[in-house]
């Protein structure tokens, strides 16, 4: 199976429709001010998709279970779409760069997790936090 270069594909998609405006952009041709405005737009869209995902996963316990795995996957892909746009807006443009940043952060998260499992003197884990 071929590797999908999601960031490259997303960048080309956004660039194709950039002249329309309405949230589409060419990451190579936007100003810092435009980046700020587009970030707000992308975050609002991402929040909307997160709410749709929450609804699809029956977040509310009193609602009947009607979601399908296919619908849940569709919402996750929608979330990924806007996540990729945020990466592009802030110059994460390659899978390798994203992977390296993720792995560095994952290493830090493990370090934090181990601190919680084995607290050292002067470090208290608050179960209510």
Question: Any alpha helices (H) in the chain, and if so which ranges?
Answer: 6-16, 32-56, 69-89, 95-117
Q: Where are the domains of the chain?
A: 6-92, 94-129
User: Which tokens hold the place of 19?
Assistant: 């002249």
pLDDT for the residue numbered 68 = 86
Residue 114's pLDDT band (cuts 50, 70, 90): confident
State percent of the chain over pLDDT 90. 67
> Can you give the three-state secondary structure of 84-97, one letter per residue?
HHHHHHCCCCCHHH
Q: Which fold has domain 6-92?
A: Helix Hairpins (1.10.287)
């Amino acid at each position: 199976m071929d590797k999908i270069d999601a960031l490259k594909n997303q960048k080309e998609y956004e660039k194709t429709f950039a002249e329309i405006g309405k949230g589409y952009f060419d990451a190579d041709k936007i100003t810092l001010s435009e980046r700020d405005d587009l970030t707000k737009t992308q975050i609002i869209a991402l929040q909307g998709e997160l709410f749709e995902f929450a609804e699809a996963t029956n977040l509310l316990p009193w609602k009947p279970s009607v979601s399908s795995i296919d619908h849940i996957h569709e919402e996750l892909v929608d979330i990924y779409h806007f996540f990729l746009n945020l990466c592009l807006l802030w110059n994460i443009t390659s899978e390798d760069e994203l992977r390296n940043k993720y792995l560095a952060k994952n290493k830090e998260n493990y370090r934090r997790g181990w601190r919680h499992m084995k607290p050292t003197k002067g470090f208290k884990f608050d179960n209510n936090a």
